[in-house]
Amino acid sequence: MKTKFIPHPHVIALINLALAEDLNGGDPTSALLSESNSPQTATIFAKSNFTVAGLPLLPLIIQESRFELEVEFLAQEGDQVKKNQHLAKLHGKAVDILILERTLLNFMQQLSAVATSTRKIKDLTADKVKVADTRKTIPGWRYLQKYAVLIGGGSNHRFNLAGGIMIKDNHIDACGGIAQAVEAIRKHSPHPLRIEVETRNLEEVKQALAAEVDIIMLDNMSPELMKSIIDNFGQRAIFEASGNITIDNIQQIAHCGVQVISLGSLTHTINPPDISMKIDPTP
Amino acid sequence: MKTKFIPHPHVIALINLALAEDLNGGDPTSALLSESNSPQTATIFAKSNFTVAGLPLLPLIIQESRFELEVEFLAQEGDQVKKNQHLAKLHGKAVDILILERTLLNFMQQLSAVATSTRKIKDLTADKVKVADTRKTIPGWRYLQKYAVLIGGGSNHRFNLAGGIMIKDNHIDACGGIAQAVEAIRKHSPHPLRIEVETRNLEEVKQALAAEVDIIMLDNMSPELMKSIIDNFGQRAIFEASGNITIDNIQQIAHCGVQVISLGSLTHTINPPDISMKIDPTP
Amino acid sequence: MKTKFIPHPHVIALINLALAEDLNGGDPTSALLSESNSPQTATIFAKSNFTVAGLPLLPLIIQESRFELEVEFLAQEGDQVKKNQHLAKLHGKAVDILILERTLLNFMQQLSAVATSTRKIKDLTADKVKVADTRKTIPGWRYLQKYAVLIGGGSNHRFNLAGGIMIKDNHIDACGGIAQAVEAIRKHSPHPLRIEVETRNLEEVKQALAAEVDIIMLDNMSPELMKSIIDNFGQRAIFEASGNITIDNIQQIAHCGVQVISLGSLTHTINPPDISMKIDPTP
Amino acid sequence: MKTKFIPHPHVIALINLALAEDLNGGDPTSALLSESNSPQTATIFAKSNFTVAGLPLLPLIIQESRFELEVEFLAQEGDQVKKNQHLAKLHGKAVDILILERTLLNFMQQLSAVATSTRKIKDLTADKVKVADTRKTIPGWRYLQKYAVLIGGGSNHRFNLAGGIMIKDNHIDACGGIAQAVEAIRKHSPHPLRIEVETRNLEEVKQALAAEVDIIMLDNMSPELMKSIIDNFGQRAIFEASGNITIDNIQQIAHCGVQVISLGSLTHTINPPDISMKIDPTP
Amino acid sequence: MKTKFIPHPHVIALINLALAEDLNGGDPTSALLSESNSPQTATIFAKSNFTVAGLPLLPLIIQESRFELEVEFLAQEGDQVKKNQHLAKLHGKAVDILILERTLLNFMQQLSAVATSTRKIKDLTADKVKVADTRKTIPGWRYLQKYAVLIGGGSNHRFNLAGGIMIKDNHIDACGGIAQAVEAIRKHSPHPLRIEVETRNLEEVKQALAAEVDIIMLDNMSPELMKSIIDNFGQRAIFEASGNITIDNIQQIAHCGVQVISLGSLTHTINPPDISMKIDPTP
Amino acid sequence: MKTKFIPHPHVIALINLALAEDLNGGDPTSALLSESNSPQTATIFAKSNFTVAGLPLLPLIIQESRFELEVEFLAQEGDQVKKNQHLAKLHGKAVDILILERTLLNFMQQLSAVATSTRKIKDLTADKVKVADTRKTIPGWRYLQKYAVLIGGGSNHRFNLAGGIMIKDNHIDACGGIAQAVEAIRKHSPHPLRIEVETRNLEEVKQALAAEVDIIMLDNMSPELMKSIIDNFGQRAIFEASGNITIDNIQQIAHCGVQVISLGSLTHTINPPDISMKIDPTP
């Protein structure tokens, strides 16, 4: 799937925080090089195999830095890149390249980490189910991480608290039961949003079905129980598996017939690929 | 070591980004509960063993949210907490607690992840060496991650480009050699900063020693080579090991006699502990 | 319906813009009064009949101004207030009250305008249908206006572009038809969101039904056509009327059987009630 | 009158709030279209007759969005446009156009609403008097609304609390009378500002004249009283009529001889003209 | 004159910039002291004689820092303080006091510098004339510096470009003469603003008088010429002397009879008094 | 020394504050000129002799203003310019030039003031010592002032609290002596930072030497004492003179043999050179 990267104000704010924290005080080491105003080129390249994400951030970070570097892309967003593959070239002054190097790479590595782990999980499930993220994202990174999930072939669960109705235990308790909670919410909730209820056992699933909710989350259930639920009620709601899902059990869960599997680890656990930058030798 | 948490403007800005991304649009699900203005209590607790960090953020996030929740701490920053241990209680309205739950936990988990992995690494090296972070941090999180490294018993490498003089290959090449680079920089660099040079082999170490730099980074060298360098020149500079350091080889490296070991993974690789929140049952 | 007001960062930013634009340069007239540091009280009161909204903003604006005024509420959010009814009292220094007067009233008037017009429309339709807003809001005021719609008894349509899937003419054209557009989107869209299609005639309604979309917007159709559509297909989707809906025809439209009527005018057309402030006479 | 539009930081901040509130979370519907990177054109056009304002905001919003759309103007700021008249064309990718459509139109409609109502009022008074706005503006919109008043042929009253000395009842009471208030203020007020006093009856007008103020506001007076005041004292100050001025009585008031008529409704009451956007058919 | 200090958003933004630039990266030196959580007191005191300004900033900076320090004032804003006089005490933790020390003193010194130099100039002219500032302020400090001018007994010229009409040479040239420029502007300028024209010789003064402007600036004229102008035309406008005014010639200029003397040096030239802070010895 | 100017986010924020404070409300005087859209040129020139700094800010301010002016540089950053020398030309619309004139000049004057006074001090000491700034900077101006110090030939002391370890009296007292303080800090301080101790007499210097600190600040000592200290211990640390250093005694101090002299006055005392702008006559 092609995805539109939107450089919206929160992303710009995060980029400016990143520049502020690293460039605050200048770069006394690189100041030495400031004579070297002749054009230089640097290459950003992969030091391992991974799914690349974050390329559209390169020109954006440079624009925010007010430096005058040109970016030449050598890979496409979402590509499965190999060790030593070149991803992009930067053209400009050496001093500008050196000052921005770390900020550029830090963004690329974080985004590629999410795309790569999503890609791996998604490939295990083929097209059977949607592999969805959660709101367990790194604070400040909600949009970027959910974008990287899309790049890795995943789907987005609700973007924020207003991106879906999600009735949890605490809500249910406060209202006196699933039936009451759903009824109260349905009357006033924004009609473009589906209503989802979190369930922990068969009894709760039946209550949710009786309340005619749109989505039922099966939380921390065994694959056997989930399969039995889907076999019996699969046509009456969208079923989503969640909780304790790992690379080891995801295939079994996918076979239960749920339409969505959601994992907090897609965005809260980060294993960044190694990405590096090298000033090209002068020809 | 006790460490002072400073709620400086970049942290406040990051908290506001986090609130903006999650609360934007409100919380239509929890709105249902808004009648329940009677006092409620919720408990934040550990679901695994880890080193806790981020407790001072709880009241700060609440202050920025303009909600009126009181925090009662049940653990101290830096504690080694056990599964099921209670970390803090929130007193206030249920609706306010539910709206902030995810943001509070996301911050706690990210900070505790860094403190926990630092603690593990540090414990492997005992007091022999400083275990230091790098500038490979999650963009926008520089201060928080470096603070969590301290909480985990680690040390900070330079906070940003102006927090130390670090002469890398590219700088050396641009100046025509280590000697020339160091001379040029020493004349103008801020005198409160030590001068560090990155070296890749014995020859470069000797050049750095001849230039009388303060710190020599031994990049990606074998433990044997590092040991030999320290044995011969250990008194003439601060030696720092860096590159490809893992939980498996860090003890061997620590025995080489380097004073500092720096690891990008302390801050760019995140394995968050499981932290959860539960509304307390009404007594 | 009770609604939770969330003072999120965009609202705080808007309040600060408002303070910046009015207080920039200080208040040379009121400076005269700065001796008068003795306690004063002022009353905010209605000069016409309306539905009041914006009371929670009073303490928030005061907090952002860093002035020390206490607010005493004399009405509740959503109340139908009468001419001359007192809404709130401010206790503090006269100079602080005078400096903030206009900003406080401007916010109250804008929010009450939206709540009042929503209330009027909603009362015409009784409980038959949801009266929903649109994204035609005053830029910067999205959250506040949609909150005021709720206070007035209305419902929210999608909060922003990510708060619902809405397939319009242009999308359909780009994909080659409703069937193709829906299929392409359904595969990748966030599962918590319903899928809505905008239709302009019976033919398009039938295509949308065939594509099994969740919501069908009937755009600018005659009440007769809408009634016939609902009579025939009312059980197969949520139907929403939109376009050229006024206070004159809304009752007829409500009788067609649609579940939702959406109006841009709720938020883009503003007729503020008159709200005023008077320093209380010293007793 | 030609007026210079100044894209100052508060306007930029408001534009970013608008983008943040609508684009937060991306646009999952339009993401579908992201393949369509071939050039597209869209037309912004009038659906009723009005005075257009806000054209300079189009390129500004686009610049802030970081999208790459070109604007081609087909009307000029301040033009009296007719239904179906084309105002501007956007050239770029369809997906970018669709994502920004609502934000662009929302700004245009709000500004054109103010220019149009100002134009109508101004035309009723010919050149006899200045038709001025007040500080009763939509919070965050002070500059944009006062700019639109100029585009509609009106004049600006003070931009903010520091844009003029305005002595109101409360100030007078606190100082013990008009004479004392004016004397206290005159001594210290910035000399580039005129001194205005609000009066409610002939007696107060006489006191203001005795105090030699520069501007006398006649608040809520009958046209007859105002005429008599101007006839007797018209040469001794600038007279401004204010309070309960409508489209029905403004001509009569203009004939009283006042130099300025100020109306809060110019900026707090909004009746936006209908402005729409259509993707051009591919040729 | 008493003056109201308004902590408006631009001041808050400047304080946050100041905190961000100094606290960025924390305070590794003072971290040592973080054990010392027992209450401490520090005294801010004068090390020379000066006019104090900036006291209201102390609690404001502390509030923005989120530290918990209490301020006890020992002097009043505008006081003429003597060497060794105590100005304020801070109560809180030593570590918090030490971290904020420099930021607090830097603000106090800058504001007191302006108040002190204004006070000196003002005392030389007694009450004969207003001593006014200009727009030649330190960028970002407009409000704070103009506030300090008031504290020092001076007056404010226009706060910004919209705080008065000021017709300069370039404007006159562009319009073809003083008469034309004034006529064009008068028709459209905000009526609360006086119209000022800059003149360089008697001929221009006469043209300005003929155009019936409100204020005439006599730019860089000899005291003799100014005296002659005032003697002849003093009743027909407000006259303001400006340009090359120093502590040596200001008394002579004041005797010419001008009502206002404006000096850029009040705000662009800074000679800060010495202000220091000392942790009180533990009793 | 060539120095790299970095337009980092705090500088951009300060520029925006400056634009906001001056352009807020627009420029009613210059609006008159808005017809004159024909190209104009203006010259920024020196009205006295000084060291110029701030040229890179010109295009940056213009970019932030969103005006379309081109800058042509006629001098280089750091040049010793003479009275009447041209520094830069602006090409664009007259109205845009006039609106930005004061903001551009205010920045240039402040930066050139610092560069000029640094240059003067530095020239008195030749190359014998580093002339360093302090943290006594104008709040919000830390980076710009420290950059201007470099342009004037000076050196930077620590950029902020994290840019060096500086142990002052208060720290020493809290820890029970220099030895204890240094030991506690050395164990945990970031290794890229040198450790500096402030001393007031020979006894403290000896304690600092015994503790093997890197830098010893000699605070307010007589030149004779300082010379004796350097003669005896000069090889064992970097010595920095500070306190009561003026243009009159700096040469004597420089001859003592200290390596660094630091002065708060470089950045807290401002005597701006006169810089002006003139619209070029039309040819």
**pLDDT per 10-residue tile (average), chain F, 283 residues:** 86 98 92 70 97 98 97 98 98 93 98 98 89 98 97 96 92 84 88 96 97 97 96 97 92 94 97 95 76
Q: Which two tokens stand for residue C115?
A: 């709540």
Distance from CA of C214 to the nearest CA of A (A): 9
**In this structure, is residue C54 part of a structural domain?**
yes
Nearest-by-Cβ selection for E193 from D164, D189, D240: D164
Q: Is F26 on the interface with C (CB under 8 A)?
A: no
Please write the tens of the pLDDT for every residue from A100-138: 999 999 999 999 999 999 999 999 997 779 999 999 999
* Burial category of F263 from C-beta neighbours within 10 Å (exposed 0-12, middle 13-18, buried 19 and up): buried
The answer to whether the CB of E205 falls within 8 A of the CB of E199 is yes
**In this structure, is residue A4 part of a structural domain?**
no
Maximum alpha-carbon separation in chain E: 75
Q: Is A24 on the interface with F (CB under 8 A)?
A: yes
In chain E, the number of structural domains is 2
pLDDT at F84: 98
Helices (H), chain E: 9-23, 28-31, 57-65, 94-125, 142-151, 169-175, 178-188, 202-210, 223-233, 250-254, 265-268
pLDDT at E283: 66
Same-domain status, B135 and B159: yes
Same-domain status, B41 and B74: yes
- Answer yes or no: do D238 and E191 touch at CB < 8 A: yes
Q: Which two tokens stand for residue C160?
A: 């922003």
Q: Is A158 on the interface with C (CB under 8 A)?
A: yes
pLDDT at A36: 62
Q: DSSP letters of C86-110? A: EEEEEEEEHHHHHHHHHHHHHHHHH
What is the C-alpha to C-alpha distance for residues D56 and E25, in angstroms, rounded to an integer? 41
Its sign, for the CA torsion A247, A249, A253, A254, is: positive
| E strand or H helix that includes residue D21 | helix D9-23
Share of chain C above pLDDT 70, in %: 97
Cα B114 to its chain centre, rounded Å, is 5
- Answer yes or no: do B163 and F193 touch at CB < 8 A: yes
Chain D CB contacts of F23 below 8 Å: 6, 8-9
pLDDT at B132: 97
Residue to mutate among D138, D175, D279, with most C CBs inside 10 A, is D138
Residue to mutate among D1, D6, D194, with most F CBs inside 10 A, is D6
Average pLDDT of the residues of chain C: 94
Same-domain status, F132 and F258: yes
Nearest-by-Cβ selection for F35 from D2, D147, D159: D2
Residue A174 has pLDDT above 90, yes or no: no
The strand pair at C215-219 and C238-242 is best described as: parallel
Please write the tens of the pLDDT for every residue from B222-274: 999 999 999 999 999 999 999 989 889 999 999 999 999 999 999 999 999 99
- Give the total residue count for chain F: 283
Same-domain status, E133 and E82: no
The answer to whether the CB of C160 falls within 8 A of the CB of C139 is no
- Answer yes or no: do A16 and F9 touch at CB < 8 A: yes
Chain E CB contacts of D193 below 8 Å: 163-164, 192-194
Residue E231 has pLDDT above 70, yes or no: yes
pLDDT at F36: 62
Please write the tens of the pLDDT for every residue from A134-158: 999 999 999 999 999 999 999 999 9
Please write the tens of the pLDDT for every residue from C135-144: 999 999 999 9
Q: Which one is predicted more confidently, A244 or B214?
A: B214
**In this structure, is residue C1 part of a structural domain?**
no
The average pLDDT across E19-29 equals 93
The average pLDDT across E108-129 equals 94
pLDDT at B33: 66
Q: Between B and C, how many residue pairs show a Cβ–Cβ distance under 8 A? A: 50
Spell out the residues 6+ positions from residue B235 whose beta carbon is closer than 8 angstroms to its own: none
Chains that touch E (3 or more CB pairs under 8 A): A, B, C, D, F
| Residue A96 belongs to domain with CATH number | 3.90.1170.20
pLDDT at B179: 93
pLDDT at F139: 98
Please write the tens of the pLDDT for every residue from C166-222: 999 888 877 788 998 898 888 889 999 999 999 999 999 999 999 999 999 999 999
Same-domain status, A136 and A72: no
Residue to mutate among F191, F195, F197, F213, with most B CBs inside 10 A, is F191
Please write the tens of the pLDDT for every residue from E48-68: 999 999 999 999 999 999 999
Residue A3 has pLDDT above 90, yes or no: no
Average pLDDT of the residues of chain A: 94
Same-domain status, F111 and F162: no
Q: Between C and D, how many residue pairs show a Cβ–Cβ distance under 8 A? A: 192
**In this structure, is residue D1 part of a structural domain?**
no
Chain A CB contacts of F137 below 8 Å: none
User: HSE-up of E242 (CA within 13 Å, CB side)?
Assistant: 24
Share of chain A above pLDDT 90, in %: 82
ipTM attached to this prediction:
0.96
Residue to mutate among A24, A30, A69, A95, with most F CBs inside 10 A, is A24
Please write the tens of the pLDDT for every residue from C39-69: 889 999 999 999 999 999 999 999 999 999 9
Q: Comparing C-alpha atoms, which of E208, E267, E258 is closest to residue E234? A: E258
What is the C-alpha to C-alpha distance for residues A47 and A85, in angstroms, rounded to an integer? 8
* Angle formed at CA C266 by CA C261 and CA C272, multiple of 5 degrees: 155
The average pLDDT across B97-108 equals 96
Spell out the residues 6+ positions from residue B252 whose beta carbon is closer than 8 angstroms to its own: B223
What is the C-alpha to C-alpha distance for residues D134 and D171, in angstroms, rounded to an integer? 18
Q: Comparing C-alpha atoms, which of A208, A188, A190 is closest to residue A199? A: A208
What is the C-alpha to C-alpha distance for residues C5 and E52, in angstroms, rounded to an integer? 43
The answer to whether the CB of A54 falls within 8 A of the CB of A116 is no
Helix (H, G, I), strand (E, B) or coil at C179: helix
Same-domain status, E108 and E136: no
pLDDT at B215: 98
pLDDT at E2: 66
Helix (H, G, I), strand (E, B) or coil at D16: helix
Neighbouring-strand partners of residue E275: E46
Helices (H), E34-177: 57-65, 94-125, 142-151, 169-175
Residue E257 has pLDDT above 60, yes or no: yes
Structural domain boundaries enclosing B90:
9-116+271-279
The average pLDDT across A253-265 equals 95
Please write the tens of the pLDDT for every residue from E153-175: 999 999 999 999 999 988 887 77
What is the C-alpha to C-alpha distance for residues A280 and A276, in angstroms, rounded to an integer? 12
Helices (H), E189-241: 202-210, 223-233
Q: Which two tokens stand for residue D184?
A: 């206290």
Same-domain status, D196 and D250: yes
pLDDT at D210: 97
pLDDT tier for residue B175 given thresholds of 50, 70 and 90? confident
Chain E CB contacts of C95 below 8 Å: 4
CB contacts under 8 A, D 239-278 vs A, are: none
| E strand or H helix that includes residue C127 | none
Residue C244 has pLDDT above 80, yes or no: yes
**In this structure, is residue A214 part of a structural domain?**
yes
- Answer yes or no: do E26 and B2 touch at CB < 8 A: no
Q: Is F24 on the interface with C (CB under 8 A)?
A: yes
Distance from CA of B57 to the nearest CA of E (A): 12
Share of chain C above pLDDT 90, in %: 82
The answer to whether the CB of F121 falls within 8 A of the CB of F130 is no
What is the C-alpha to C-alpha distance for residues C18 and A246, in angstroms, rounded to an integer? 49
Distance from CA of B61 to the nearest CA of D (A): 21
Its sign, for the CA torsion F125, F127, F129, F132, is: positive
Dihedrals φ, ψ of D245, to 5°? -100, 130
Q: Is B6 on the interface with D (CB under 8 A)?
A: no
**In this structure, is residue A35 part of a structural domain?**
yes
Chain D CB contacts of F19 below 8 Å: 8-9
Separation in Å, CA B72 to CA A191, B43, B64, C101, E84: 39, 9, 18, 38, 44
Q: Which two tokens stand for residue D75?
A: 């009307």
Residue E1 has pLDDT above 70, yes or no: no
Q: Which DSSP category does F94 fall into? A: H
Share of chain B above pLDDT 70, in %: 97
**In this structure, is residue D194 part of a structural domain?**
yes
pLDDT at F187: 84
| Residue E170 belongs to domain with CATH number | 3.20.20.70
pLDDT at E34: 55
Same-domain status, B201 and B110: no
The answer to whether the CB of B102 falls within 8 A of the CB of A136 is yes
Please write the tens of the pLDDT for every residue from D68-114: 999 999 999 999 999 999 999 999 998 999 999 999 999 999 999 99
Residue C34 has pLDDT above 60, yes or no: no
Same-domain status, E85 and E220: no
Spell out the residues 6+ positions from residue E103 whose beta carbon is closer than 8 angstroms to its own: E18, E19, E22, E61, E65, F139
Q: Between A and B, how many residue pairs show a Cβ–Cβ distance under 8 A? A: 192
Same-domain status, D91 and D219: no
Q: Which one is predicted more confidently, F71 or E281?
A: F71
Q: Comparing C-alpha atoms, which of D17, B19, E136 is closest to residue F102? A: E136
Share of chain E above pLDDT 70, in %: 97
Helix (H, G, I), strand (E, B) or coil at A86: strand
Distance from CA of B139 to the nearest CA of C (A): 21
Which residue carries 């921005």 as its tokens? A100
**In this structure, is residue B1 part of a structural domain?**
no
Separation in Å, CA F198 to CA E28, E94, E181, F215, F239: 16, 18, 62, 9, 10
Helix (H, G, I), strand (E, B) or coil at D137: coil
Cα F43 to its chain centre, rounded Å, is 26
pLDDT at E138: 98
Same-domain status, B172 and B43: no
- Answer yes or no: do C188 and A158 touch at CB < 8 A: no
The answer to whether the CB of A140 falls within 8 A of the CB of B5 is no
The Cβ of residue A280 has, within 10 Å, a number of other Cβ atoms equal to 12
